[in-house]
């Protein structure tokens, strides 16, 4: 058993009673403990963990904090200041729960477990792959709360559902969250989440989002990450899709310390579409990684991946895009692009496409670029009277904004572009 | 330098990666005139344009370029542009993700700010952009498109003319304006230039072929060979060239 595994098992033992009090999962935690013991916490040498930074996790004595800090919202983007907040893993409001007349449920997982336990357990862990990586079983072991969204058949939720995942504290605490988004047949929802930490934060956050998209349903998931301090965040989404369904995921990382984003998508029925985008702006010694796994298990589905990074200073970025096209998945269309802009000599980026194709009638493409700002374009803009700094900012913003092309909510898109612009103004100088 | 001189080039030498390209250019262009530079491939025509516009890959080793009496070689490209120097590029670069209207508004406002004016009102901008784009016949294509992205050769050149018309520069370098254009497009871009000609501004048309000069009639033609101006004359010089080729100049 490796050191990290041992440490987290001890932590669980100490916190078990409190965890169960917060979110009673009973046997599910014990089962996860067995799986975690068996699978173990990931190790650097593992193929899909090579680019992750695990040393700090291994060397830190993690704790479980029982008290919640006061929340300072003044530093947040205005858009999210009135959204429900998860503070260090638990909803700020004790009973964050809304059940609309049309049957739509929006609330915390803790509240959902009280109001609709059967439905929660019909979905909890159904998409999570506990035996794939130890981190996923660990999440079940330590989870305290998360966002619950349920949309019944035929209902289209018009207003985006906003939430904030907030982390603050300097005692090396763990925050483990589980978000569950369920849309039934021909239903749709747009969820927008801000993940933010305070400058003194040094928590280890692990959030898992399980998305269930039924036939002809649509889930749009947007995440904006703004980690300050020394926050470590592993953020994973699992999605499964029904017939002719759509799943959109867009993760924009404005700032980070050590972030690993994962997306696991599986098509269970034909004619599904998945559009996955990610952008990270990494400066100084920031590390950001994207791991994407798309399982084309059935025919006639399409997946589009559009990821980009802008790196400066000593930043490190990585993208691993694994596309699996199973033998029966004929007429699959899978496209993958990972484009990176490296602004300094010391920044590093790794791009690893990984295509595993067993069907013969498929269209798959992947492309990876690593480049610098285009001098010709820079000169063109300057020759029209635009100053050098402004020209750089325009080019970087347009490069970065390309990952937002598939975002439907124009307000959100503009909001993120503005955030990108102000971050780039700082980075490009 | 006469009072009327807008641009004066004095003994200009330039090189790129150690290779000497311009070997002592002298040129005086008064306001209200059109000068043409003709010459064989590799003579240094485009280098001259790029040096005037301020492209950094060319190193000026000697000489001056005086625009309104100021040496613009000491200015950044953006400063030259704001002072009224404009180059129409031979191969305008595509800039994905930067929309045409945003780009046009940004450059107009950069110039307005430089003059101490307020940013252009949105309605006024739209009216102006539409009017000029309609004149050039590119009204439809600039909507919802990124700068030069997916434009044909002719559309790119028309887009250069659109920017010229919106910025109203005083000194314009036309770098191979006719390259890759069919006769209708040449007529149209020439019309844009001729419409702008005034006693206050001047043009330097760089071209390999004489045909552009049928539409943009120059006051003076200079023949550039191997980094030097070997002959200057009136528009009839182009006709001589057409007949005898550049061979006679070598």
pLDDT in tens, B138-188: 998 888 889 999 999 999 999 999 999 999 999 999 999 999 899 999 999
Those of residues 14-73 in B touching chain A at CB distance below 8 A are 53-56
pTM over 0.95: no
Compute the average pLDDT of residues A198-222: 98
Contact status of B170 with chain A (Cβ, < 8 Å) = no
For the stretch A96-105, pLDDT in tens is 999 999 999 9
CA A67 to chain centre: 26
The ipTM estimated for the assembled molecules is 0.96
What is the predicted pLDDT for the residue at B247? Answer: 73
Compute the average pLDDT of residues A66-88: 93
Round to whole Å and give the CA distance between B103 and B120: 13
Domains held by chain B: number: 1
Mean residue pLDDT of chain A comes to: 95
CB contact under 8 A, A398 and B92: no
What is the predicted pLDDT for the residue at B246? Answer: 77
Please, which pLDDT band fits residue B250 given cuts at 50, 70 and 90?
low
Contact status of B81 with chain A (Cβ, < 8 Å) = yes
Round to whole Å and give the CA distance between B127 and B160: 18
In a domain, A339, yes or no: no
Domains held by chain A: number: 1
Please, which pLDDT band fits residue A428 given cuts at 50, 70 and 90?
low
Tell me which H or E stretch contains A391: helix A388-401
In a domain, A126, yes or no: yes
Question: In 3D, which of A342, A373, A421, A340 has the Cα closest to residue B93?
Answer: A373
CB contact under 8 A, B98 and A379: no
Compute the average pLDDT of residues B1-27: 91
What is the predicted pLDDT for the residue at B203? Answer: 98
What is the predicted pLDDT for the residue at B249? Answer: 66
The Cα-based distances of A218 to A108, A213, A336 in angstroms read: 21, 6, 21
Round to whole Å and give the CA distance between B79 and B98: 22
Compute the average pLDDT of residues A67-84: 93
For B73, the domain range is 5-249
In sequence order, what are the residues at sequence separation of 6 or more whose Cβ sits closer than 8 angstroms to the Cβ of residue A92? A68, A71, A84, A85, A86
Please, which pLDDT band fits residue A67 given cuts at 50, 70 and 90?
confident
Among A49-53, B54-58, B91-95, B235-239, which stretch is predicted with the lowest mean pLDDT?
A: B235-239
What is the predicted pLDDT for the residue at B31? Answer: 97
In a domain, A401, yes or no: no
Residue of B nearest to A399 (CA): B97
Q: Is the pLDDT of residue A429 over 60?
A: no
Residue of B nearest to A380 (CA): B93
In sequence order, what are the residues at sequence separation of 6 or more whose Cβ sits closer than 8 angstroms to the Cβ of residue A107? A91, A95, A96, A97, A98, A99, A115, A147, A148
Round to whole Å and give the CA distance between A33 and A12: 9
Compute the average pLDDT of residues B109-135: 96
Please, which pLDDT band fits residue B2 given cuts at 50, 70 and 90?
low
CB contact under 8 A, B107 and A382: no
For A186, the domain range is 1-51+67-216
The Cα-based distances of B50 to A20, B14, B16 in angstroms read: 71, 11, 11
Question: In 3D, which of A232, A231, A234 has the Cα closest to residue A261?
Answer: A234
Contact status of A398 with chain B (Cβ, < 8 Å) = yes
B63 with B13: CB under 8 angstroms? yes
In a domain, A117, yes or no: yes
CB contact under 8 A, B167 and A384: yes
A2 with A41: CB under 8 angstroms? yes
CATH number at residue B102: 3.40.50.300
Q: Is the pLDDT of residue A277 over 90?
A: yes
CB contact under 8 A, B93 and A384: no
A74 with A191: CB under 8 angstroms? no
For the stretch A25-36, pLDDT in tens is 999 999 999 999
Tell me which H or E stretch contains A20: helix A3-22
Mutation target among A341, A373, A385 for the B interface, most CBs of B within 10 A: A385
Exposed / middle / buried, residue A67 (Cβ in 10 Å: 0-12, 13-18, 19+): exposed
CB contact under 8 A, A382 and B106: no
Tell me the CB-side half-sphere exposure of residue B88, using CA atoms within 13 A.
35
* Chain B residues closer than 8 Å to A374 by CB: 93, 95
In a domain, A102, yes or no: yes
Size of interface A-B (CB pairs under 8 A): 68
* Chain B residues closer than 8 Å to A381 by CB: 95
* Chain A residues closer than 8 Å to B80 by CB: 383
A239 compared with A428, residue with greater pLDDT? A239
For the stretch A43-52, pLDDT in tens is 999 989 998 9
Please, which pLDDT band fits residue B241 given cuts at 50, 70 and 90?
confident
CB contact under 8 A, A388 and B76: yes
Round to whole Å and give the CA distance between A249 and A218: 11
Please, which pLDDT band fits residue B3 given cuts at 50, 70 and 90?
low
Please, which pLDDT band fits residue A349 given cuts at 50, 70 and 90?
very high
Kindly state the tokens that stand for B85: 């120097």
Mean residue pLDDT of chain B comes to: 93
* Chain B residues closer than 8 Å to A279 by CB: none
Compute the average pLDDT of residues A413-424: 92
Contact status of B98 with chain A (Cβ, < 8 Å) = yes
A353 CB neighbour count, 10 Å cutoff:
19
The shortest CB-CB distance from A383 to any of B54, B97, B111 is to B54
For the stretch B32-48, pLDDT in tens is 999 999 999 889 999 99
Contact status of B89 with chain A (Cβ, < 8 Å) = yes
In a domain, A32, yes or no: yes
For the stretch A370-388, pLDDT in tens is 999 999 999 999 999 999 9
Compute the average pLDDT of residues B237-243: 83
Between helix A27-39 and helix A134-142 the angle, nearest 10°, is 150
What is the predicted pLDDT for the residue at A112? Answer: 98
Contact status of A378 with chain B (Cβ, < 8 Å) = no
């Amino acid at each position: 058993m490796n050191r990290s595994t041992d440490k987290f098992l001890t932590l669980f033992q100490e916190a078990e009673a409190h965890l169960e009090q917060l979110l009673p999962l009973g046997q599910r935690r014990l089962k996860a403990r067995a799986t975690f013991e068996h699978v173990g916490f990931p190790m650097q040498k593992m193929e899909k963990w090579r680019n992750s930074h695990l040393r700090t996790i291994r060397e830190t004595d993690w704790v479980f904090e029982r008290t919640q800090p006061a929340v300072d919202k003044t530093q947040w983007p205005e858009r999210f200041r009135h959204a429900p907040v998860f503070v260090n893993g638990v909803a700020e409001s004790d009973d964050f729960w809304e059940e609309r007349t049309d049957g739509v449920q929006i609330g915390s997982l803790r509240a959902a477990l009280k109001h609709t336990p059967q439905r929660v357990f019909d979905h909890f862990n159904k998409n999570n792959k506990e035996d794939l990586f130890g981190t996923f079983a660990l999440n079940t072991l330590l989870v305290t709360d998360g966002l619950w969204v349920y949309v019944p058949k035929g209902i289209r939720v018009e207003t985006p559902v906003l939430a904030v995942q907030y982390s603050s504290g300097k005692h090396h605490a763990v925050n483990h969250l589980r978000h569950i988004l369920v849309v039934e047949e021909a239903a749709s929802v747009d969820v927008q989440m801000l993940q933010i930490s305070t400058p003194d934060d040094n928590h280890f956050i692990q959030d898992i989002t399980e998305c269930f998209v039924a036939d002809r349903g649509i889930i749009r998931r947007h995440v904006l990450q703004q980690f300050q301090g020394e926050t470590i965040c592993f953020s994973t989404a699992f999605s499964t899709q029904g017939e002719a369904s759509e799943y959109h995921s867009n993760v924009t990382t404005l700032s980070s310390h050590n972030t690993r984003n994962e997306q696991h998508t599986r098509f269970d029925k034909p004619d599904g579409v998945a559009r996955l985008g990610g952008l990270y702006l990494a400066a100084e010694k920031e590390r950001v990684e994207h791991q994407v796994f798309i399982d084309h298990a059935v025919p006639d589905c399409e997946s589009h991946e559009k990821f980009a990074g802008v790196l400066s200073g000593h930043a490190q970025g990585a993208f691993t895009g694994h596309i699996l096209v199973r033998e029966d998945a004929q007429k699959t269309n899978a496209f993958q692009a990972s484009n990176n802009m490296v602004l300094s000599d010391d920044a590093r980026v790794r791009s690893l496409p990984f295509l595993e194709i067993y069907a013969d009638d498929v269209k798959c493409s992947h492309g990876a670029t690593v480049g610098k700002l285009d001098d010709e374009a820079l000169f063109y803009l300057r020759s029209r009277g635009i100053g050098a700094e402004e020209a750089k900012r325009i080019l970087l913003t347009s490069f970065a904004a390309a990952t937002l092309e598939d975002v439907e909510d124009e307000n959100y898109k503009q909001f993120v572009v503005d955030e990108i612009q102000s971050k780039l103004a700082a980075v490009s100088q | 330098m006469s009072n009327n001189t807008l641009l004066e080039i004095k003994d200009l030498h330039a090189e790129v990666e150690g290779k000497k390209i311009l070997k002592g250019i002298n040129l005086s262009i008064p306001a209200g005139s059109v000068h043409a530079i003709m010459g064989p491939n590799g003579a240094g025509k485009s280098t001259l344009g790029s040096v005037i516009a301020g492209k950094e890959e060319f190193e000026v080793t000697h000489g001056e370029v005086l625009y309104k009496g100021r040496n613009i070689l000491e200015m950044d490209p953006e400063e030259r542009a704001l002072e009224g120097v404009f180059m129409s590029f031979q191969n305008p670069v595509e800039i994905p993700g930067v929309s045409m209207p945003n780009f046009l508004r940004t450059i107009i406002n950069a110039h307005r700010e430089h003059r101490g004016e307020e940013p252009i009102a949105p309605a006024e901008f739209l009216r102006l952009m539409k009017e000029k784009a309609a004149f050039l016949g590119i009204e439809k294509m600039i909507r919802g498109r990124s700068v030069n992205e997916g434009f044909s050769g002719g559309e790119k050149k028309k887009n250069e003319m659109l920017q010229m018309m919106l910025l109203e520069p005083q000194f314009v370098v036309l770098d191979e304006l006719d390259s890759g254009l069919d006769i209708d497009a040449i007529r149209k871009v020439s019309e844009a230039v001729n419409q702008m000609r005034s006693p206050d501004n001047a043009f330097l048309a760089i071209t390999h072929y004489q045909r552009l000069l049928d539409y943009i009639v120059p006051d003076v033609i200079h023949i550039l060979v191997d980094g030097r101006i070997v002959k200057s004359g009136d528009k009839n010089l182009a006709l001589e060239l057409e007949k005898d080729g550049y061979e006679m100049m070598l």
